[in-house]
Amino acid sequence: MTLSSTASADASISERFAAVRASIETAAHAVGRDPASVTLVAVSKTQEPVAIDAALATGQRIFGENRVQEAQGRWTPRLGDLPGLQLRLIGPLQTNKAADAVALFDVIETLDRPKLARALAEAIQRTGRDPSVLIQVNTGAEPQKAGVLMADLSGLLTLARNVLGLRVEGLMAIPPVDEPAAPHFQRLRRLAADEGLSVLSMGMSSDYAAAIAEGATHVRVGSALFGERKAWQGPL
* Listed range (72-86, 105-119, 173-187, 204-218) with the worst mean pLDDT: 72-86
Residue-by-residue DSSP string for 56-69: HHTT--EEEES-HH
DSSP state of 95: G
CA 5 from chain centre, in angstroms, equals: 29
- Give the list of residues 6+ apart from residue 80 with CB closer than 8 angstroms, or none: none
- How many whole angstroms separate alpha carbon 70 and alpha carbon 65? 8
Average of per-residue pLDDT across 165-186: 97
Per-residue pLDDT of 193-227, as tens digits, reads: 999 999 999 999 999 999 999 999 999 999 999 98
Per-residue pLDDT for 51 more than 90? yes
With bands split at pLDDT 50, 70 and 90, how would you rate the model's confidence at 8?
low
3-state DSSP of 204-219? CCCCHHHHHHCCCCEE
Per-residue pLDDT of 140-168, as tens digits, reads: 999 999 999 999 999 999 999 999 999 99
Is the Cβ–Cβ distance between 170 and 134 less than 8 Å? yes
CATH topology of domain 3-225: TIM Barrel (3.20.20)
pLDDT score at 217: 98
Q: What is the pTM of this model?
A: 0.92
Residue-by-residue DSSP string for 130-163: --EEEEEB-TT--TTS-SB-GGGHHHHHIIIIII
φ, ψ (nearest 5 deg) of residue 92: -60, 145
> One-letter amino acid identity for 30?
A
Strands 168-172 and 218-221: unpaired
- Give the list of residues 6+ apart from residue 59 with CB closer than 8 angstroms, or none: none
- Give the list of residues 6+ apart from residue 46 with CB closer than 8 angstroms, or none: 70, 229, 230, 231, 232
DSSP state of 181: S
Per-residue pLDDT for 90 more than 60? yes
pLDDT score at 228: 74
Helix (H, G, I), strand (E, B) or coil at 19: helix
Is the Cβ–Cβ distance between 104 and 78 less than 8 Å? no
**Cα dihedral sign for 27, 32, 36, 39?**
negative
With bands split at pLDDT 50, 70 and 90, how would you rate the model's confidence at 98?
very high
